[in-house]
Structure 1
Amino acid sequence: MKKLSILIGFLALTFYGYSQEYVRLMEDKNANFYEVQEAFYKYWENKPYERGKGWKQFKRWEYFMEPRINAQGIIPDPGKTWEEFQKFQKSFPSEKGNKSNKTSNWTPLGPTNWNSIGWNPGIGRINTVAVDPNNSNVIYIGAPAGGCWKSTNGGNSWIPLTDTLASLGVSGIAIDPSNSNIIYLATGDGDGNDTYSIGVIKSIDGGNTWQSTGLTWTTSQSRVMRKIIINPTNPSILFVATSNGIWKTTNGGGSWTSVRTGSFKDIEFNPLNPNTIYACTNSSIYKSTAGGAFNTFIPLTNGLPSNQVGRFSIAVTPDDTNYVYALGTDPNDNGFYGLYRSTDAGNSFTLRANSPNIMGWNTSGTDAGGQGWYDLALAVSPTNKNLLFTGGVNVWKSTDGGSTFTANTRWNWPTGSYGYVHADIHTLDYFGNTLFCGSDGGIFKTTNAGGSWTDLTAGIQNSQFYRLGTDPNNAGNIMAGAQDNGCTLLKSGTWTHVTGGDGMECLIDYSDNNFMYSTSQNGTIYRSTNGGGSFSQITGSISESGAWVTPYVIDPNNPAILYAGYTNLFKTTNRGTSWAPISNFSATGSILSLAVAP
């Protein structure tokens, strides 16, 4: 007799906290997992799920952390992996510590680019972009957990630069304008906390090798860096904005000094006078006119809201250095709070616009809310002080200094009259007149002020996979689900993006590989009956919601039977055409795993 082995996870339902307290707690290294979880469910109590409002970002964090905590909810020390990696290098300095001496025969399968029959194709998240000031064909990107990548041909191909390091997040890149071989990386995932910082690291050979600088942290400190900038007239001077304040070096990273405490999100030089620096925390903007010396960052308040902003991003332009822009999000729902502009170098600001909602999913801006705590970007043209772009879920454009906005890109594919840039914008940066964008799906650029966009991601392999499924009868058939980039099928040597959302568990029928199954978050299952040529949803009759990664399996004795775990266990005897519950559990949690005895 077949038996089902089921593990059920229960959500704690005693709540506390204030609006989106969970976001702050997720960044607190001392927070208890159950406290963060409780604060999240308190915030979402009696609210319907809406995409683009921050639900998915928490669920990714919860899914990763929950299996790793102890019974008391203590989050494990994130520094252990890095410590073990360093021990490995010391124990095997030549035999195995050197990448060139490794004898394993692992080869990357991809995906490195995409064809799509789904709706949000992409490769993986990009936090930061930098272009060599002396050679515009040389481009660097930083990923939240995939390290640093480099292109020497304008983005036509890419090579990884940090594969010999432990899993590395990069949120800032600075290149010495007087010597392009000198590169600095600000480590850690500044937006999603997927990885913590090991400090600023430096290369003097174009990224071939890396060394620590005087700002060295351990991941057990649970700090992140968010942006690094280099003085264009004196490249020995750099600043880095971090969750542990603003740090400054005057000797190329040999030593660093904390010049301002706080958790800083953004930092910019005055483009023509690097003695003036602007920086911002979530809710405040600061300015130093003394070269960023200790305790010279003074808060700017005239015309700005007081402690009413969820997160700020700032931008300046060499077209007029008196112009300073600030983009703010609503602290209650992470939607659009306001676009502010100063025309007197920050002495005073005026509100330019607070609608439409440029932080949401809808290109009309008529929806509410957003996820500005996770993705927020702002850029101003270096030659037109009134031309600016903002990033939230989509890219928006203003040609009148922020008084009005129109959607410039759309997150879902195909995009119709809009350019395609994958959802969730983490950075917008001008290099010359080319605007680069880093999103949850890759790196994109426009050379004509948003008239068209080009995807440069092909060749980068930084997808963050949850699950994969293989074909028992054909090793060349693989389907995998990735963070915010859906499910992708490898067949006949070609990858195809087949379904969207956050891709989860994938299965291929062991008796007939024309039947394939993919899932998105919380248990929406899709089925293909033609070997991946097309997919359709098959769980519309199931009213329950599943876990973030909802488990489902094919019966090992009858491939027409599948089981799927939600709050209850559901069964189909016709490959998903219809489902029926086979349990009536009194618990209110979600099934986390299941297996069928052979």
Structure 2
Amino acid sequence: MKNLRFSIGLLFGILLTIKSIAQDHPSERVRADFEKIKSTISGIIPFPELEKARNYTIQRINQIKNASANAAIPFINWSEKGPRGIGGRTRALMFDPNDVQYKKVWAGGAAGGLWYNNDITDANAVWNKVDDFWDNIAISCIAASPQNSQVFYVGTGEGWNNLDAVRGGGIWKTTNGGVTWSRLASTIPSTNTTFSYIQKIQVNTQGQVFAGTKQGLMISNDGGLTWSLATTIGSQTITDIEIAADGVIYAATNPSKIYKTNNVSNDGTSWTNITPPATTGNRTEIALSNNLVGSNQVIYATSINNTNNFAWFKKSTNAGITWTDLTIPTWNGSTNEITSNQGWYDLIIKISPINANLVIIGGAEHSRSTDGGQTWVSGNIGIHTDHHAVEFKPNNSNEVIMGNDGGIYYSPNYGDPNIHAHSVTASARNNGYSVTQFYTVAIKNIANDNYILGGTQDNGTLKVDISQQASVATGGDGVQCFIDKDDANVQISSYIYNNYYLLNRNGVYQKAIIGDSNSGVFLNPADYDSQNNILYTYKNYGSNSTSFYVVTEVGSNNVVQTVTIAQAMSVSFIKVGLLPNTIFVGTSSGGIYKITDFRGSSPTITRINLPANGFTSSGEVSSIDFGSSDNELLVTLSNYDTKSVWYTSTQGAYWISKDENSYGLPNIPVRYGIFNPLDKNQVFLATELGVWTSNDFNAINPNWTPTNANLANVRCDMLIYREADKKIVVATHGRGIFTTNLLPCQNGYLSLVSPTNDVLNGQDVLTTATEVNAKNKIANGGTNMLRVRDKITLSPNADGSTGFKAANGSTFIANVNGCY
């Protein structure tokens, strides 16, 4: 979404250069994702199917944990690789009421789960995750009960009509200050769809819980066991709930309405409409003063118009009886720049708890008033854009925390009216808060190298170092990125459409190699040929042709050409072929084409997945991967309600669906798929719900299984393989980057720990059956055939083959038929 506007050392000048094109396009981003995953039957996102798939996935994960079923590929164990220091979209923030110093803070990532930090004032304090395997980790809001500070409620699901929003799974509750959590059965969307999206939760001093949903304001008098609807408000979308210090409850809606009630025991029928007269609007936000209540209650309220900018901004000093207009804050002289046409998505108002004249408003940008909204100062204080949450520290209102698309920020003085807004200081508090939403990832083809390059939503293309600390290589939404497999000095990052940049070995910007914001698609497909230093990107298509940008001599002369072929294709994926000057192209309608002599005088274009050859799916092609040759293809499609995984060993002469009803894969988007290059009978899929794998892909039923040990219940967007050290990397859209080491040829893998009766006898010698197997497969008696982790002894058997024995407690890996 919006480009980063903060300085990062020497990159500041680079970011300013890129800033002219790196503007926010939220509607285009969400539309792009919607098209990628919408149902091929209904044309909408079938959220009940996603909820069903979540339940099924959790069941399968629990079965694996309980050893009643086997993970598809043994020994796959994911390891988190950051990024540290740069966060992601954050809507939920709360100071812990049980910490008398109010240093402990809770936060929720919009797709990355619930976290806590024990000292928000300490820049080095590390965030701790609560549980990556809640049934849903799309955290939207959090509230504590003033009746019992040990009771917290956490809501899930983004209800702001962004098409890429992660659907929620209800409300979670703790009764011991966050030590343990459980989901409220009354809010599980599979049985109560009202709780699919929860915008706000508030709890009053009587312990009543108020949940703002897209289907109305829900009220619970029994701690969330049962709920009733505020019938006066009805089924309107609730955009905000606030409770005044005297107990009066206020609610705002979309379309623009404001209601209040002081009857805390009512059944939801005694709400009064206090909407400012002669106003219209959509999403509405309100803020209440804590120090002026009753008939003197101060309310700030604003609503968004059809262009998603301010429709009106008003204030009441008598609890909503009368209203006066406020000055609409500006950024760079423009009122629209605060909201930047996305007030439907970014909007928050907060009043200082001790000073009703000090108000902070956040939209795409942020602004502060110290005179009750008459004048505003919009200062660049080093805070990321797209604001969703603001909280004043309860025991020191000078201190403020903010949640936005860049994570969490802390200011020791933003709430101090005596400090001019331009002099306020603020800094990120994202150490270990790994909720970044990645689209793509690239790594150097160097064994054990820890450098990672990744394209992210609203946080640019990030580079992550060995300590997992991240910094921005280029700004805006990061999309495709590549690192040359033969020369890590050549790296490519990109922004939306056809904006591609050359980086050096350390991820430092060198130059723009394509700068075109008028062609391609928002998250534009591309691929890079490391052997020949050629970048291919999609440009556009017409009625009878399709154009591509081709950049040759990448890293040196960077020669840009446009290549047009005589075939109309709405391109969704590009894969460089194994043969020179050949590419494979997937389309948004399910077509797959092989193009040979691509840059030559007579390119040949062949559609290789005709329905007559068995390929019956429609939808967007999300990935193409090669097996032992380019005759063997794995293809995935990302839409709901389609067969998502296809295989051919005949380059399309005959296709086999690997996603039938009984094959184990739920009805979810499959965003990427790769063969295990070390065992082509194994396949990894990046899906809406983690990584799924098959250990026997060539079987009729591949028996798909979630393979998420130490990963998360999170959307995954991309998988890549590093040949140098047999490592797979997955880019998640909400929990950062994870890697796992592959152990080739799993069927021949030996990892023996002695003594165990089924492996070694009491003399620490292999049992007869295992010894026979070993002596037949371990060749030549070479010591290089074993990875020695402890004492291993090789000795000849009677027939001259090699046997071995191990000391007590030793662990070793045998090289069997050339595979570990």
Bucket of the pairwise TM-score, normalised by the shorter protein: 0.7 to 0.9
Distance 1:363 1:421, change over 3 A: farther
Alignment match, 2:342: 371
Q: CA deviation at 1:123?
A: 2.0
> Residue 463 of structure 2 is aligned with which of 489, 500, 516?
489
Task: Give the AA of the match of 1:160.
Answer: K
Q: CA deviation at 1:126?
A: 0.4
Task: Give the AA of the match of 2:262.
Answer: T
Aligned residue runs from structure 1 range 82-161, under 5 A: 82-88=54-60, 91-92=63-64, 94-95=66-67, 105-113=77-85, 122-135=86-99, 136-154=102-120, 156-161=125-130
- Deviating more after overlay: 154-163 vs 496-505: 154-163
Alignment match, 1:63: 33
Alignment match, 1:512: 487
Is 1:488–1:498's contact at 8 Å kept on the other side of the alignment? yes
Distance 1:65 1:324, change over 3 A: farther
What CA distance in whole angstroms lies between the structure 2 residues aligned with 1:103 and 1:298? 60
SS of 1:84's partner is helix
Alignment match, 2:404: 439
Matched, 1:171 2:144: no
Q: CA offsets per residue over residues 400-430 of structure 1, 9 Å max, x none?
A: 111121103xxxxxxxxx2111110011222
Alignment match, 1:479: 453
Aligned residue runs from structure 1 range 153-302, under 5 A: 153-154=119-120, 156-177=125-146, 179-191=148-160, 192=162, 194-213=165-184, 215-218=186-189, 221=193, 223-231=196-204, 233-234=205-206, 236-260=207-231, 261=234, 262-271=236-245, 273-291=246-264, 293-301=267-275
What CA distance in whole angstroms lies between the structure 2 residues aligned with 1:467 and 1:64? 18
- Deviating more after overlay: 390-399 vs 286-295: 286-295
Distance 1:551 1:573, change over 3 A: same
Matched, 1:591 2:556: no
Q: CA deviation at 1:103?
A: 7.6
SS of 2:173's partner is strand
Q: CA deviation at 1:439?
A: 0.3
Distance 1:96 1:436, change over 3 A: farther
Distance 1:323 1:453, change over 3 A: farther
What CA distance in whole angstroms lies between the structure 2 residues aligned with 1:503 and 1:219? 35
Q: CA offsets per residue over residues 464-521 of structure 1, 9 Å max, x none?
A: 1101112223542321111101111124445332111111111001221111001112
Q: CA offsets per residue over residues 1-44 of structure 1, 9 Å max, x none?
A: xxxxxxxxxxxxxxxxxxxxxxxxxxxxxxxxxxxxxxxxxxxx
Distance 1:96 1:162, change over 3 A: farther
Task: Give the AA of the match of 2:576.
Answer: V
What CA distance in whole angstroms lies between the structure 2 residues aligned with 1:446 and 1:529? 34
Task: Give the AA of the match of 2:56.
Answer: E
Matched, 1:571 2:550: yes
SS of 1:545's partner is coil
Matched, 1:427 2:389: yes
Q: CA offsets per residue over residues 50-78 of structure 1, 9 Å max, x none?
A: 9766x334423532552452155242322
SS of 1:195's partner is coil
What CA distance in whole angstroms lies between the structure 2 residues aligned with 1:499 and 1:96? 47
Alignment match, 2:520: 546
Is 1:556–1:596's contact at 8 Å kept on the other side of the alignment? no
Distance 1:284 1:505, change over 3 A: same
Is 1:129–1:427's contact at 8 Å kept on the other side of the alignment? yes
Q: CA deviation at 1:211?
A: 1.6
- Deviating more after overlay: 285-294 vs 503-512: 285-294
Structure 2 gaps, min length 5: 1-19, 416-420, 541-546, 579-820
What CA distance in whole angstroms lies between the structure 2 residues aligned with 1:188 and 1:574? 46
- Deviating more after overlay: 104-113 vs 218-227: 218-227
What CA distance in whole angstroms lies between the structure 2 residues aligned with 1:469 and 1:50? 23
What CA distance in whole angstroms lies between the structure 1 residues aligned with 2:40 and 2:29? 19
Q: State the identity %.
A: 27
- Deviating more after overlay: 547-556 vs 561-570: 547-556
Structure 1 gaps, min length 5: 1-48, 114-121, 409-417
What CA distance in whole angstroms lies between the structure 2 residues aligned with 1:366 and 1:373? 13
Q: CA deviation at 1:197?
A: 2.4
Aligned residue runs from structure 1 range 521-536, under 5 A: 521-536=496-511
Alignment match, 1:334: 308
Q: CA offsets per residue over residues 238-297 of structure 1, 9 Å max, x none?
A: 1111111111112222222112421100000112x1144343334111111212631222
Task: Give the AA of the match of 1:591.
Answer: V
Is 1:566–1:590's contact at 8 Å kept on the other side of the alignment? no
What CA distance in whole angstroms lies between the structure 2 residues aligned with 1:225 and 1:593? 35
Q: How many residues align?
A: 516
Is 1:547–1:590's contact at 8 Å kept on the other side of the alignment? no
* TM-score for both structures, normalised by structure 2: 0.59
SS of 2:519's partner is coil
Alignment match, 1:350: 324
Matched, 1:537 2:518: no
SS of 1:461's partner is coil
Alignment root-mean-square deviation, CA = 2.7
What CA distance in whole angstroms lies between the structure 1 residues aligned with 2:152 and 2:189? 21
What CA distance in whole angstroms lies between the structure 2 residues aligned with 1:517 and 1:92? 39
Distance 1:278 1:265, change over 3 A: closer
Distance 1:529 1:152, change over 3 A: closer
Q: CA deviation at 1:237?
A: 1.2
Q: CA offsets per residue over residues 519-559 of structure 1, 9 Å max, x none?
A: 1122311111344233422113x574222221222225412
Task: Give the AA of the match of 2:549.
Answer: F
Is 1:140–1:150's contact at 8 Å kept on the other side of the alignment? yes
SS of 1:420's partner is coil
Is 2:256–2:303's contact at 8 Å kept on the other side of the alignment? no
Alignment match, 1:501: 476
Q: CA offsets per residue over residues 196-228 of structure 1, 9 Å max, x none?
A: 222222122333432222531326948310111
Alignment match, 2:606: none
Alignment match, 1:407: 378
Alignment match, 1:414: none
Task: Give the AA of the match of 1:486.
Answer: G
SS of 2:184's partner is strand
Is 2:497–2:521's contact at 8 Å kept on the other side of the alignment? yes
* TM-score for both structures, normalised by structure 1: 0.80
Is 2:496–2:517's contact at 8 Å kept on the other side of the alignment? no
Task: Give the AA of the match of 2:367.
Answer: W
What CA distance in whole angstroms lies between the structure 2 residues aligned with 1:313 and 1:73? 32
Distance 1:489 1:200, change over 3 A: same
